Structure 1
Amino acid sequence: MCHVSRVFKLMALLVSVALAGCASTLARVDTWEGELPVATEPAVLKAPGAIQVLSVNGRSMTNFLMDDLALDYGLLPGENEVVFEYKTIWAKAGVVRSGESKVHVVESGPQVARFEAGAGEVYRFDIQKPGSREEAETMMETFSADIIAGSGAVVAHSEAWNGRSQLTAGRTPVPSGNGEMAGDAVSGSSLERLKAVWADASDEDKKAFLRWAFE
C-alpha cells in the first residue's frame, strides 16, 4: 500500500510539471510555451509560499498540486501581466470540533500586477506581513502588493483583478528558431512531456526530486 502511494505521488507531480509547460528546470516555472529565441535571457519573478500565481499573460499557472510552495517564475522580457492571490493561515485558538478546520484562512481576491521585465533581471513580491489574523483581515480590505526589482526599485503596484487582460495580444507561444512552435514537440502524451522536462533538469534537481518522491 505504501509503495502504491509513493508511485501515485511521483506520477501526480511529474504529470503536473509536464502540463505546466515543460519548465527549463524543476526549480523554475517558465510562463511561455516553446523555446526562447537565441540569446534571449528571461527575467525571474520570485513568489513566496503565501503567493499563488494564477496566470501570467493569460496563461494558467495553476497546474501544480502543491499549495504554499515558493516558486520562481520565468518571464519573457518586456510587458508582463501577473494575476495572483495572497493567503495567510492562522491556527484556531481553543477547542476545535471534530471535522472542523483547525485553521483560519485569510486571503485576498485575485490581484493583478503589470510591469516591464528586463532580460536577466530578478523581481520579487513585497508584502506587508500581518502580525495577527485580525490584522490580516483588516489588511485584505485594501490589499496591494509591490513588485520589487533587484535594485530595490518598485516597478508595479498590484490592484484588484477584474478578469480582463490589458494586453492586446498574447505573448505566448514563442516561435523556435526553425519557425515551428517548439511546444508541438512535446504536445503528445504526458510521458513525452515528462521526458522533455527531465532532459532539461540539472543532475542536482533530478536527485532532489527523486529524494522527495520516494521519501
Structure 2
Amino acid sequence: MNHSGWCFRLIRALLPVALLGLLVGCSSAVTKLETWEGNPATAVNASTLKAPGAISVSQVNGRAMTNYMMDDLALDYALLPGENEVVFTYKTIWAKPGVVGNGESKVYVIESEPQVVRFEASPDETYRFEFDKPETRRQAEQMMPEFSASIVSADGGILATSSDWSPSDSTLTVRTPVPGDPGADDGALSDSDMSSLNRLKAVWATANDEEKKAFLRWAFE
C-alpha cells in the first residue's frame, strides 16, 4: 500500500514536467516558418523575421500563414531576400477583475486592425517588430486606433513602419511557384488571374463567418 502510494505521488510529481517538455518540443517544432513555395535557390540565404506572441502574422507576400491554437506563441518567419510584404495584427490580453459570470470570458482581448509592412530583406539578416507596449488596458484601448509597428534590423535601424491594411492594398503575390507543376504548362493561370486569386484568398482569410456564408450563398445562386 505504501509502495503504491509512493509510486502515485512520484507519477503525479513528474507528470507536469513531462507535459511541459511536450509543449516545449511542440512549440520548438513550429517556431520557424517558411514563407515561400517550392525550393528557390535563394532560400539558403533566407533572412529571419522574429514575431513575438502579441503579433499574429496572417500572410506574407500573399501566402496565408498557419494559425496555431496557442496564443502568445513567438514565431520566426524565414523570408526570401528582396521585397517582402507582411500582414499582421497586434493583440493584447487583460484579465477581468473580480468574479466573472458563468460562461463569460475571464479576459479582455484588445486587437488592432490588420496592419501591413513592406521592406527589403537582406540575405542572412535578422529582423524584429518594434512597437509601443501599453501598461494598462485603458492605454491599449486608446492606442489601438493609431497602432503601428516598425521592422527593425539587428543593429537597431528602422527599415519600415506599418500602416492599416485592406486586401486591395496587397502588391506582392505568392513567391516561387513549385517547379514542375502540371498547371505551369498549357491552361496555366495568367499573372492577372493569379493576382485576383490571391486577393480573393486574402479576403477570405480575413472574413468572418457571416461574410463567408453570404459569399457562398451568392456564389452558388
Aligned partner of residue 105 in structure 1, secondary structure: strand
2:39 matched to which residue of 1? 35
Aligned partner of residue 164 in structure 1, secondary structure: helix
Matched AA of 1:118:
S
Q: Aligned partners of 2:37 and 2:136: how far apart in 1?
A: 40
In structure 2, do the counterparts of structure 1 residues 94 and 132 end up closer, same or farther at CA, with 3 Å as the change threshold?
A: same
| Residue-pair matches, total | 157
Aligned partner of residue 138 in structure 1, secondary structure: helix
Identity across aligned pairs (percent)? Answer: 56
Q: Aligned partners of 2:169 and 2:61: how far apart in 1?
A: 8
In structure 2, do the counterparts of structure 1 residues 101 and 122 end up closer, same or farther at CA, with 3 Å as the change threshold?
A: same
Structure-1-length-normalised TM-score? 0.67
2:144 matched to which residue of 1? 140
Match of 1:100 among 104, 118, 121: 104
Match status 1:85 vs 2:89: yes
Structure 2 unmatched runs, 5+ = 1-21, 182-221
Q: Cα distance, 1:38 vs. partner?
A: 6.2
Aligned partner of residue 35 in structure 1, secondary structure: coil
More helix by share: 2
Q: Cα distance, 1:69 vs. partner?
A: 0.6
In structure 2, do the counterparts of structure 1 residues 63 and 103 end up closer, same or farther at CA, with 3 Å as the change threshold?
A: closer
In structure 2, do the counterparts of structure 1 residues 99 and 166 end up closer, same or farther at CA, with 3 Å as the change threshold?
A: closer
Structure 1 unmatched runs, 5+ = 1-9, 18-24, 182-215
Match status 1:112 vs 2:105: no
Q: Which moved more, 1:57-66 or 1:99-108?
A: 57-66
Q: Cα distance, 1:34 vs. partner?
A: 1.4
Q: CA RMSD in A?
A: 2.4
Matched AA of 2:72:
D
Structure-2-length-normalised TM-score? 0.65
2:77 matched to which residue of 1? 73
In structure 2, do the counterparts of structure 1 residues 164 and 62 end up closer, same or farther at CA, with 3 Å as the change threshold?
A: farther
Q: Check whether the contact 2:63–2:173 (CA below 8 A) recurs between aligned residues.
A: no
Match of 1:57 among 31, 47, 61: 61
> Which structure's relative contact order is higher, taking Cα pairs within 8 Å and 6+ residues apart?
1
Q: Cα distance, 1:65 vs. partner?
A: 3.2
Q: Aligned partners of 2:140 and 2:38: how far apart in 1?
A: 40
Point out 4+ residue stretches in structure 1 off by more than 4 angstroms: none
